[in-house]
Amino acid sequence: MRRTRLFVALATLLLSTSALTACGDDGHDYHGIQRDSPLEVVDYSLPEVTGGGTGGAFPFKAAPGTLLAVYFGYTTCPDLCPTTMTDLKQAKEDLGADGSKVRVAMASVDPDRDAPAVLSNYLSSFFPAGEYHALRTDDETELATVMDAFLASATIEPHEPGDTDYLVSHTGTTYVIDENGTVVLEWPFGVKAEAMADDFRALFGELLSP
């Protein structure tokens, strides 16, 4: 099976520790990365196609009382995407009733193969209705602009029209966003469900009102 290739940019991100911290205000030792100057993505959006949606703009900020986990991937990914979605699913389940406070948005980096229904159905296999957002655009510039805001990258292997067997390289980071549109935590690929749930509990205490 072909494996998705991670970008060198991800390794660079992990090595740039001078601009990063991993300890919250309450002393929690986060499993993800917290920047001294967090990414601000509130001014960005992508069309939402969840459940046959009409493509209305979905802004990158959490609904009040929730946190939003954002991932850039694609449905035919053989490894990074299903692993990450499975870990997020398990983390939400580990949180019990608080799992509904975590919403997941996945933006497709491969819209040619990820038709709206395909992407929406893919996410529905992991998360309850109302707790996920399928995001998709055919506008390459729009997608690139949003990904730049997250410092994320993706490249599609050159292929002939109609060819459905091609590789996609993409950043494997999961971004946790608050209701102000601030990226409060970044998980590199490989952070497991138990660690995600642990971080979510700490973020609930720091950011969400009782």
| Structure confidence by residue, pLDDT tens digits, 48-100 | 999 987 778 999 999 999 999 999 999 999 999 999 999 999 999 999 999 99
Q: Please state, as a whole number, how many other Cβ atoms lie within 10 Å of the Cβ of residue 124.
A: 15
**Rounded distance between C-alpha atoms, residue 149 and residue 175, angstroms:** 12
Q: Whole-model pTM?
A: 0.88
pLDDT at 15: 32
Chain segment 161-187, per-residue pLDDT in tens: 888 889 999 999 999 999 999 999 999
pLDDT at 22: 58
Percentage of the chain with pLDDT > 90?
Answer: 78
**Rounded distance between C-alpha atoms, residue 9 and residue 11, angstroms:** 5
Residue 189 has pLDDT above 50, yes or no: yes
What would you report as the CA-atom Rg of the chain, rounded to the nearest whole angstrom? 16
Percentage of the chain with pLDDT > 70?
Answer: 87
Task: Catalogue all structural domains in the chain, each as residue range(s) with its CATH number.
Answer: 8-207 (3.40.30.10)
Q: What single-letter amino acid sits at 205? A: G
DSSP 109: S
Tell me the pLDDT band of 18, cut-offs 50, 70 and 90. Answer: very low
The mean pLDDT of the chain is: 89
